[in-house]
Amino acid sequence: MKYKYLDHTADTKFRAYGKTLEEAFANAALATTNVMVEPDKIQEKAKKKIAVEGDDLQALLYNFLEQFLILLDAENFFLAAVKKIKIWKVKNNGRISYKLTAEAMGDNAAKYETIGPQVKAVTYNDMVVDEEKDNCFVQAVLDI
C-alpha cells in the first residue's frame, strides 16, 4: 500500500508508506494530490525541480508537500509522479538540518476533472515521520 486516509472531523489525514524515507515522502505527495485528482490519470508532460530544507524531518515533510500546493496555485501543475527523490542530513556549525531534492512530473491542471476539495495547507497537526529500516511511514493532516 502506498498510502491510506484516516478519519478526521474536518480535514484530511493520511499515512504514507515506503521502504525508505524517500519513498514514503514521495507517496505522501501522491496522497496529497489524490485528495483533488487521481495522480494515475495525470500525464507526465512537464517536469518541475524541487529543492527544500527543514530543521527537522517534520519541517522537511511540511515544506516538501507545500511545494505541490504552490505549484498548483501558481503554475496550475498537477503531480503525476515524484522521481529522483533524495533526502540527506547536513551539519552546519554543529546544527543538524535536512535537505531534499526531487523531480516532479505532471501536467496542466485545467485539463483534468477534479474529484474533491482543494488542499489549502499542510499542517503540523498529528504529523509523524517514522524512519525504520525497510519500514518507514509519514503521517499528516491537510487543511481543506
SS3 of 23, please?
Answer: helix
Residues 55-84 that bind other proteins (CB under 8 A): 55, 58-59, 62-63, 66, 69-70, 72-74, 76, 78
Q: Compute the least distance from the CB of residue 18 to other proteins, in Å.
A: 22
- Positive or negative, the CA dihedral 98, 62, 68, 22 is positive
| Residue 43 interacts with other proteins (CB under 8 A): yes or no | no
SS3 of 17, please?
Answer: strand
Instruction: Answer for the pair 103, 64: CB distance below 8 angstroms, yes or no.
Output: no
Instruction: Answer for the pair 85, 104: CB distance below 8 angstroms, yes or no.
Output: no
Q: Pick the closer one to other proteins by CB: 125 or 135.
A: 125
Exactly one of 109, 129, 136, 138 binds other proteins (CB under 8 A); which one? 109
Exactly one of 19, 118, 128, 135 binds other proteins (CB under 8 A); which one? 118
d(CA 85, CA 51): 10
Interface with other proteins by CB under 8 A: which residues? 5-12, 36-37, 55, 58-59, 62-63, 66, 69-70, 72-74, 76, 78, 109-110, 112-118, 120-125, 127, 141, 143-144
